[in-house]
Structure 1
């Protein structure tokens, strides 16, 4: 049965237009699934089974019928969706299928309304004798978008549903228990008392719960000093000028502050109220998103404020205060006063009879608006008056008409109306915003980084805490949105990660989006059309930055036309979700970015995990069709996407795709090789570790090769003990999976470690085994590597330089035959070292120049740094050329080594280059600095480098007469 999108009426399948409102009926949209943060309200009648046992079925039905009707009315009144009636239990969802920013609060308020409704039903008919327990719980669920709850289709599933039922069972009679997330999200609006944790069935740990005992006073009491006023001085000055002009000209003025949720509209209004309150009276009103009689709610709040009416006042007290307020209005026109009285009586819902002459229960809209306007004029005539109306995006058109009507008045009255709204008002009521006449619009932008730092310092109470790297990441994630930052800090405090003095830990992993912020963003996403929302979801999988072509590629699905990426992205940009990047990093592709990383995170979190896995793989497929240079730049990004696809596929038992394990491991290994060439060895080691984590227990042969590569990196960064342990295990396991090549290379690396640490006999034994394996496999790469490592061994320990040089030249020739440029570069570097030790400095320099040329062609910063360092050492230690130029080269290489993490060459560069030159140049204090930097690194490596570092450190101390 088609459901009308305009009025919600069910219609027969053959209907083309709604039978209730005549709106065209669109074909039903296909259902889809989303992960959402929802709040579940579960209520059940106490003792119903025992009562029903002794009742006729017709009486059971008669008892439950008004209960069902009344509860549905109350729950839907607060924006809830009644998912099901189970016997006498009722399950309602808040946040599904459509999210609101305050779903947890709506649910708890609805729970109170349910309890009141039960009392009213019992008062109306004592025979019903109803009592209930209510449980409210917030958590993540899988929501079926498009499901028709009214026809029995399930809307949501997840543990949050079961836990809500457990809370309901444990709740007191006619009481409400809520879970922790609900409590955290609503504690500013609801009064709670913490209850004993409950041992919920099926839960491994007791569940913390709170009993909701009441709704806090809704009177608007802004506190301007709650948070430091940051970054809005220009806007505050503009508001003050409008206020001053209204006072000077004795004419009403209207200002509307426009900005997305959390941008600081309320804080700016509070600051304006503080300043305006020094010259006049300020009254606050706020538009509500739900409830009865909400059209004029902000005006009602203003009247209550002006008359001193409290939330706790009874009807008689309210009537008395309203009469007293009317007496204070400066008018002797009785007809005028009667109209004002009728208007206020209608607003408050309390009859009033000013001066005992006139009362009415009905009033036309024209009279109502006139009466409200005249009341405000009279207030302003007594003293300048500022009327603040918040959240105008929720206002009914009638209220907007009233505000415009008041602002257009030409009667002398120093009145300023200052409103706040979200940008969507420009779409729903474009005529309201303007700058003509006495109207003005102020748009609030984001805070810059320094302003964000100032706000964070105030939130933390210590400016030094805002200077840390972790604080910088929080500021960046907030994207200039003050509320996002405030709620993140609040969440960190709740989790014990920050106190008044320090960050308790900066290793917080991936911080979740605060519940309040998630609600704000989810509600905005749910206001998007289906295709636009799907586009946002697909874009979120690509990342914080994305490309139109990629999003289009992700949107191609069998049987479903893909959404138009360009039109949809323009909509997302207009709705303030994304922004277009002027210069794209991919040629020929329009590039976009989410306005806030949290927007991306919430959109991404809504995509089911199995679906996410598919889209991550699909993105890697899109990268493969890009031009070659672009593919190279996306190596790390593709690796991350495939890694996520594997992780997500494992997290759900019935994923729609098999985890792309080999594809992900290879992509991560490619990223490691790229990092080794450019960004550094520590990053490469982490990529190899991630590749191994992806594989888990699968593909043991591939695991061995990855472990081998990781061990090679470990050697370079000085983790020789860990590398040695890894290599021994790899060498032992390789024969079991038929990988003689891996065994050979593991033995080669072990022999290299033995050689560096002075274990010549062990090195010879392992290299002999490796040489035999290389010959047997016929692997040219391995033969070349054996030649290189063997050359270093026989030169350093056997003194056979000629044999070493011959071995190296043969290895280089083999590497050239197989066109392995990195291997050729390594050979030239090793040959330069042996030629240097032999005294052939010219030959060594030629080899180094050739190595540098190859390194630059390859884009390998690591090899370039090694060759540059050795060239500098030659100039300094062996006086080959300009020693000052040698020092410059060694300093340059040091910066590269710090970045790449190549510890073995780093020690040589510090000792043989910089320290020796400083000693020779009579700068022993500087030499000591270099050597003290070298010693800890040398100790990680062991062997001769430790002896050499300490030898020159002693020499530096002696030169300073400190030893």
Structure 2
């Protein structure tokens, strides 16, 4: 055992250091460290190197040099142990120290920086046996990142982080600590930095922005360290804050009270105490914060010492004389001025007094006891002073003799890290009757257990997680720079489980990504665990010991899973599995979730457990999951092909995964969910990227493309570039495969794309090919695996649409009548997932248009109404939208604005819900026309123009001649004839290019009418 204050080895069973008198560390059961096997983790690497070692070697005898190096190595090792670092490598005058291995700490980056500063400070004091300083200097570089590390024959590490730390160290000046951007971000505002800007480092392609650590900031709460205190209003803690206010009111004019605020990391315990202090700003009071430290759990009276140093205003380079004078002034506030008392407090703060006070002739335990009594007196006397928060103002008024009573708020943060001496002193403070008008707000995490003195009643406030509404409110409050899409907000909420710290860090990470990928939603695969939380979460996993491997196996299953499936995947002996599962449950990282079910406490814990699993182990775990889901646990995957696909993909069985994703896509389409279908199908294509070329891969790719094409058409319109890309790739792939599988529906899709783009010279040959093939199939001359009625309906539908837009109305009518006559709703419902088009409804839409073009208005109206009735019965959202288009277009052509307006408004609301942009565009165009007809031309024109913009954004090129006919009518009414003529002329030129002649007569009539006035 070593003294944490002076570093001298102590002999058991001593309780105090024989050298400096400090209380020795209290042995506590250490968490079971994981076996030093290979592991993936985030780690902060500290690399330090002596300055001028060559010059030193020339100046010193070899034996003296050896002693100097040994002293240097001992110093680094002692400081590393103090801050829970692991000395991994010592080579000459260079030392590598790892923070986060073999056990993670929640603040490894912070510990590493403190260690670096301590090494720089301590190196100058090293001296030889003769007391003469060696005159050593050191440079320190730190970097944080993901690595793979473990003990094989020797300790090995893979990743860029160690090299980066070494390169950063080489850029440091003597006595300087330089850190990487990630290290600085994780450590947060706990330190002052000098920004050195981007620096080119050998072996790294891009410059790295380096920062020099200038010093430690004197924050007095953990939430302040993270920059959270007072930054934004607190959410979801109104009830808890009211309870603290009630306790404050009770103690303002009476005896002292205490309240213990309990909650897991990140719930906002310190932030709640800060909110209480902020609420008192208009009242007479004094606030003192005492902060325990995770790496000073055995530093005697650490929170009290830090308070005295901060309250007295100690500066980093103060001389002992200056420190003594500041300490005396601070203690004078509480009426402490006796030389022996001052000597005790100077000794506690380790300030040399150089004969200023009489020597302390007492053993260390007695000194500690008297120092504790002085501190009790110090806090008791503070309550009888002036009602000011500022220590400087308090001191000034004290010397003027102002001594009016005031209440005192003492916030004692993070008792789970308190040193034993401080805990004893806290009990004394809570027990003393002299401490009037004082409220103690104590904060601690679950696991802190202490029996406070009987006379000190300490009620507990337990902080809960935020509910969904409060969590969403917090995200909105944090999103002041970048508005996040709803999908990203939902993702944040799903991963953070109502923990404010997690919400804050995840939101920041998503905002960073959104800043790069502006306007894009984020899928769950695009987000991991924020590096600012990785150390905290990894520490919890490391404390599980051997049960960590079971947590990693559970992470392969997802956030919720059956207990018996975990047992089957883990492949552990029954007693071992039960013991490790009990340990996981006791840790709180896994929770029961209904009969026979388990759940990770937080999604981020699950993500961290998975992220720290070796890649080979992941593959094996997912492979075992697949075996279970295809065997004993097949019922779990029934009806959920995406579940099997997920595990197959992660088991490096991408081809099988793609097949199941195709099933999932088809299943989603059949359930009326094209967006979900598109995601499954795209994931299947992505999975195939790593599969070698060959017939099996091509067959699966063609299957995915053949379904993704119609899906994209529904979501983005048949004229969209994305739909065209899918159809062109599918058509080329189909032509290259033996037997040309799926040739007919794929050709239909490619033809539909060219139709939507008004590229009739390319669409017409494909449509004629479809019709020729359909006739051959119907006559039995050809077998492509397509039923005769399907082939004829599709081919005639496509030829009829093209003929209509080309102005060949009679021919269009013949094709469309033949198509619709073959349609049988019950039989042909199965064709919808193939074409994502119901030929009975879409066929009637264009059949109605063809009748109207042939002058048969009544027949046109009836076919449109029949389409609407049929669509309501079939309950296919896309088909129902088409039926609305049929009715409002026919109503416009029949000059029935009221009917058109009713169907158009219905279509806008309906299509907005389901996300059909071209339907919304056309409906707004018609709504604009009908609105103008009702006497509001300006409003109608604006609506129509926005509808045209939406229509064009989908890539649609056809129908625009018709839209200009409607627009010209409104422009004429507004007296904007010249604009109407210009737009008509543009459409006449368009007709010359693409031969969409259906609405040419109407344009010509409007052109003539406008020209004659």
TM-score bracket, shorter-length normalisation: 0.7 to 0.9
Q: 2:658 aligns with which of 662, 665, 673?
A: 665
Contact 1:676 1:684 in 2 (8 A): yes
Q: What is the CA–CA distance in structure 1 between the aligned matches of 2:753 and 2:141, rounded to whole Å?
A: 65
- Return closer, same or farther for 1:422/1:22 CA change in 2, 3 Å cut-off: closer
Contact 2:484 2:514 in 1 (8 A): no
- Return closer, same or farther for 1:398/1:711 CA change in 2, 3 Å cut-off: same
- Return closer, same or farther for 1:875/1:641 CA change in 2, 3 Å cut-off: farther
Q: 2:268 aligns with which of 245, 264, 269?
A: 264
Contact 2:793 2:818 in 1 (8 A): no
Q: What is the CA–CA distance in structure 2 between the aligned matches of 1:844 and 1:100, rounded to whole Å?
A: 69
Q: What is the CA–CA distance in structure 1 between the aligned matches of 2:276 and 2:931, rounded to whole Å?
A: 64
Partner of 1:688: 681
Partner of 1:7: none
Cα offset for 1:203?
1.8
Query: 1:417-436: CA deviations, max 9, x gaps?
Result: 322222231xxx153599x8
Partner of 1:405: 428
- 2:701 matched to 1:700? no
Q: What is the CA–CA distance in structure 1 between the aligned matches of 2:279 and 2:545, rounded to whole Å?
A: 42
**1:167-206 residue pairs with structure 2 within 5 A?**
167-186=168-187, 188-195=189-196, 198-206=199-207
Q: What is the CA–CA distance in structure 2 between the aligned matches of 1:729 and 1:218, rounded to whole Å?
A: 60
- 2:811 matched to 1:799? yes
Query: 1:827-874: CA deviations, max 9, x gaps?
Result: 443564577567498899778766654x34xxx433454457658888
Contact 2:383 2:435 in 1 (8 A): no
Q: What is the CA–CA distance in structure 1 between the aligned matches of 2:418 and 2:195, rounded to whole Å?
A: 36
- Return closer, same or farther for 1:928/1:590 CA change in 2, 3 Å cut-off: farther
Partner of 1:710: 708
Q: What is the CA–CA distance in structure 2 between the aligned matches of 1:414 and 1:938, rounded to whole Å?
A: 71
Q: 1:431 aligns with which of 451, 455, 469?
A: 451
Alpha-carbon RMSD? 5.2
Q: What is the CA–CA distance in structure 2 between the aligned matches of 1:864 and 1:870, rounded to whole Å?
A: 10
- Return closer, same or farther for 1:106/1:910 CA change in 2, 3 Å cut-off: closer
Contact 1:681 1:902 in 2 (8 A): no
Contact 1:341 1:354 in 2 (8 A): no
- 2:959 matched to 1:945? yes
Secondary structure of the residue aligned to 2:436 is: coil
Cα offset for 1:40?
0.6
Q: 1:139 aligns with which of 129, 145, 148?
A: 145
Structure 1 stretch displaced more, 239-248 or 219-228: 219-228
Q: What is the CA–CA distance in structure 2 between the aligned matches of 1:514 and 1:94, rounded to whole Å?
A: 18
Contact 1:303 1:344 in 2 (8 A): no
Q: What is the CA–CA distance in structure 2 between the aligned matches of 1:410 and 1:707, rounded to whole Å?
A: 80
**1:555-566 residue pairs with structure 2 within 5 A?**
555-556=570-571, 562=577
Secondary structure of the residue aligned to 1:734 is: helix
Cα offset for 1:160?
0.4
Partner of 1:392: 415
Cα offset for 1:76?
1.0
Cα offset for 1:395?
1.0
Cα offset for 1:109?
2.0
Partner of 1:737: 737
Cα offset for 1:571?
3.2
Q: What is the CA–CA distance in structure 1 between the aligned matches of 2:70 and 2:360, rounded to whole Å?
A: 43
Cα offset for 1:162?
1.5
Secondary structure of the residue aligned to 1:780 is: coil
- Return closer, same or farther for 1:275/1:360 CA change in 2, 3 Å cut-off: farther
Contact 2:149 2:158 in 1 (8 A): yes
Partner of 1:519: 535
Partner of 1:750: 750
Partner of 2:612: 606
Q: What is the CA–CA distance in structure 2 between the aligned matches of 1:468 and 1:843, rounded to whole Å?
A: 40
Partner of 2:765: 762
Q: 2:87 aligns with which of 75, 82, 88?
A: 82
Q: What is the CA–CA distance in structure 2 between the aligned matches of 1:330 and 1:46, rounded to whole Å?
A: 48
Query: 1:548-593: CA deviations, max 9, x gaps?
Result: 5665555347999546797466435xx4x56666xx7xxx663646
- Return closer, same or farther for 1:56/1:469 CA change in 2, 3 Å cut-off: same
Cα offset for 1:734?
2.7
Q: 2:105 aligns with which of 97, 100, 105?
A: 100
Q: What is the CA–CA distance in structure 2 between the aligned matches of 1:870 and 1:505, rounded to whole Å?
A: 37
Cα offset for 1:92?
0.9
Cα offset for 1:366?
5.6
Partner of 2:464: 445
- Return closer, same or farther for 1:59/1:422 CA change in 2, 3 Å cut-off: same
Give the alignment's TM-score, normalised by structure 2: 0.73
Secondary structure of the residue aligned to 1:38 is: strand
Q: What is the CA–CA distance in structure 2 between the aligned matches of 1:684 and 1:734, rounded to whole Å?
A: 22
Q: Size of the alignment, in residue pairs? A: 892
Cα offset for 1:93?
0.4
Runs of 5+ in structure 1 lacking a partner?
Answer: 1-20, 646-656
Contact 1:230 1:451 in 2 (8 A): no
Q: What is the CA–CA distance in structure 1 between the aligned matches of 2:453 and 2:565, rounded to whole Å?
A: 37
Query: 1:293-312: CA deviations, max 9, x gaps?
Result: 61311222344466666655
Secondary structure of the residue aligned to 2:253 is: helix
Secondary structure of the residue aligned to 2:87 is: strand
Partner of 2:445: 422
Query: 1:172-191: CA deviations, max 9, x gaps?
Result: 34443322222333463334
Partner of 2:878: 862
Secondary structure of the residue aligned to 2:201 is: coil
Partner of 2:855: none
Query: 1:97-130: CA deviations, max 9, x gaps?
Result: 2222322222122123223343222355659664
Give the alignment's TM-score, normalised by structure 1: 0.76
- Return closer, same or farther for 1:776/1:367 CA change in 2, 3 Å cut-off: farther
Q: What is the CA–CA distance in structure 1 between the aligned matches of 2:330 and 2:939, rounded to whole Å?
A: 84
**1:532-571 residue pairs with structure 2 within 5 A?**
533-543=548-558, 548=563, 551-552=566-567, 554-556=569-571, 562=577, 567=582, 570-571=585-586
Q: What is the CA–CA distance in structure 1 between the aligned matches of 2:600 and 2:901, rounded to whole Å?
A: 45
